[in-house]
Structure 1
Amino acid sequence: MGRARERRERVLEQLTDLPRLPLGGAPDPAFRDRLRAELVTGPTTAPITGPITGPITGPITGPITGELLPERSARPRHAHRRPPRPRPLLSQLAAFGLAAAMMVASFSTYQAVPGDSLYPLKRAAESALVGLSTNEAARGERELRSAKARAEEVASLLGSSNGGPLVGRTLKDMEESTRAGISRLRRAEPRSPKIKKFARHQQEVVAPMLQQLKRDQLAQAEGYLDYIKGLVAPG
């Protein structure tokens, strides 16, 4: 018990004297100089002397003397497209042949006469052009062009051996196109000089045919010429 009391009293004396002890002096001058130099120059790191193979996630403050490896591309290998191959000669020849065939077919259709296999296509194209015209005057001019085409077809049929029965039908189509075109053109342009010009042209084409026409065909052609003369006469 006596030793324990002595130990407790000694501890109490040390605690009593603790407030009177000095708290310590100023830092050492050499320490302050070293601390100031580190704060001014920043942290120092060892130089990098080996190759860098991984990503750099922090700032680099020291010299880099090693080799920087190139970054691998993140694109997959299949992303690189091959340059387009030139079209083979066979494809180019096929395209050229197709274009040439279309041009020949168009020309053949334009030159077709009654009785030819392409003639219905020619008449359908003429009707389509009339329907696609933008105004009444344009439709009338298209109809008159069709009438001129029918007159030329009659002349071709008269020169062939098998054109007899088709002549009368073509003369009828010529008159129908003429009357439709004149009617449309008069509504749009009552005093259009195109009417008289067309009438004179048809007279020059149809009149020489009279000597080659049969009796029923001759009546059709003479009736058509009488109608045309009325267009040419002043009025």
Structure 2
Amino acid sequence: MGRARRERELVLEHLAELRSLPLGGMPEPAFRERLRAEIISGALLEPSSPLDAPEQRKPAHRRPTRRRPLLSQLATLGLAAAMMVSAFATYQSVPGDSLYPLKRAAESTLVHLSSDDAERGERELYSAKTRAREVASLLGSSDGGPLVGRTLKDMEDSTRSGISRLERAEPRSPKIKTFARDQKKVVGPILKQLDDTQLAQAEGYLDYIEGLVAPD
């Protein structure tokens, strides 16, 4: 407001000086020089209203930089990668690992979500195969110990439950014989690494699945 008022007063002052001149008269040289200097300096060229000043108008709205969507995408990718790594680590876990209960819970959930006895039986037999591989892994570690016997028991429980379900749903299913043959290939080679108690468990298990591949 102070600057605009000063400019208006300056213009009025010049007009008053011009009106005091006789008609057809010319401004004095001193007046012309002063006016010229003020014009050059911009005193009379600067607009007094924002409406008259295009350069002072509010700049056009700029579209915000697309950083937030990019950060959101990166966060989503990072989360997905973390979930994949976590899922892989869970799948690779063995008895005694911190993620192992999560692995077993996932297996149990898949069994309960199965649509029928045939699918439930197949999932339980898959769990039995997983337990066999875990036993082999535990025997190769220094802290396997009592976990081996517990895992052998879980393997037998899953096998008997899976076979029972599958026999009810699909009597004489070739899947049973295929499972038994595959299990013998995994359990047989580890017998020499077991102690007496574990050996008795494994041999009893092999006797059971041997009957599954016997000719009808």
Per the alignment, residue 215 of structure 2 pairs with 234
Q: CA deviation at 1:164?
A: 1.2
Whole-angstrom CA distance in 1 between matches of 2:91 and 2:168 = 29
Per the alignment, residue 56 of structure 1 pairs with none
**Structure 1 residue 138 corresponds to structure 2 residue 119:** yes
Match runs of 1:5-84 below 5 Å = none
Per the alignment, residue 86 of structure 1 pairs with 66
Per the alignment, residue 112 of structure 1 pairs with 93
Deviations 1:133-167 (A, max 9, x none): 01110000000000000000000000000001100
Whole-angstrom CA distance in 1 between matches of 2:74 and 2:128 = 40
**Structure 1 residue 213 corresponds to structure 2 residue 194:** yes
Whole-angstrom CA distance in 2 between matches of 1:93 and 1:106 = 20
Structure 2 counterpart of 1:190, which letter?
P
Per the alignment, residue 180 of structure 2 pairs with 199
Count how many residue pairs are aligned between Structure 1 and Structure 2.
154
Match runs of 1:181-196 below 5 Å = 181-196=162-177
Whose RCO is larger (CA < 8 A, sep 6+)? 2
When normalised by structure 2's length, the TM-score is 0.69
Whole-angstrom CA distance in 2 between matches of 1:166 and 1:99 = 33
Whole-angstrom CA distance in 1 between matches of 2:193 and 2:175 = 29
Runs of 4+ in 1 over 6 A off after TM superposition: 82-85
- Which structure 2 segments of 5+ residues have no match? 1-61
Per the alignment, residue 54 of structure 2 pairs with none
Q: CA deviation at 1:110?
A: 0.6
Structure 1 counterpart of 2:204, which letter?
G
Change (3 A) 1:91 1:200: same
Q: Residue 172 of structure 1: SS of its match in structure 2? A: helix
Q: CA deviation at 1:83?
A: 7.3
Whole-angstrom CA distance in 1 between matches of 2:163 and 2:101 = 24
**Structure 1 residue 180 corresponds to structure 2 residue 161:** yes
Q: Residue 163 of structure 1: SS of its match in structure 2? A: coil
Structure having the higher Rg = 1
Q: CA deviation at 1:91?
A: 2.7
Q: CA deviation at 1:84?
A: 8.2
Whole-angstrom CA distance in 1 between matches of 2:198 and 2:181 = 21
Whole-angstrom CA distance in 1 between matches of 2:64 and 2:115 = 44
Identify, as 1 or 2, the structure richer in helix: 2
Match runs of 1:118-157 below 5 Å = 118-157=99-138
When normalised by structure 1's length, the TM-score is 0.63
CA RMSD for the aligned pairs?
1.5
Whole-angstrom CA distance in 2 between matches of 1:143 and 1:117 = 22
Whole-angstrom CA distance in 1 between matches of 2:121 and 2:67 = 47
- Which structure 1 segments of 5+ residues have no match? 1-81
Query: Alignment identity in percent?
Result: 77
Whole-angstrom CA distance in 2 between matches of 1:86 and 1:145 = 48
